[in-house]
A = this chain, B = another copy of it.
């Protein structure tokens, strides 16, 4: 039996952990690819990374409370815990999502 994934409860989720997880551009990309969908496999959110690197980033996202993962057959499906995060840390995801979009656009123009 594979070990189940660890997911912190909402009470255990901290601003420190969220900001640390969000401080990496790859993790922001993965996370914001999960917005508005029912669940995506790891490779569907970011297809240009080595599996071990992708797995590491997903672990940080799960441990911080941003993502919930579930094994479905041979795949791992992921969802963003947006409603929970929004309820405890209002405005955080929206602000960083908007800034991320602007930053990516700025880089494309430069």
State the A residues within 8 Å of B (CB): 14-17, 19-20, 22-25, 89-92, 95-96, 98-100, 103
- Identify whether the interface residues of A are mostly helix, strand, loop, or mixed: helix
Query: Contacting A99 at CB < 8 Å: which of B24, B25, B91, B103?
Result: B91
Which residues of chain B have C-beta atoms less than 8 A from A103's C-beta?
14-15
Q: Which of A15, A25, A92, A98: most chain B CB closer than 10 A?
A: A15
**CA A92 to CA B95, docked complex, whole Å:** 6
Q: How far is the CB of A60 from chain B (nearest CB, A)?
A: 12
Chain B, Cβ-Cβ closest to A100: B15
Contact residues in B for A14 (Cβ distance below 8 Å): 103
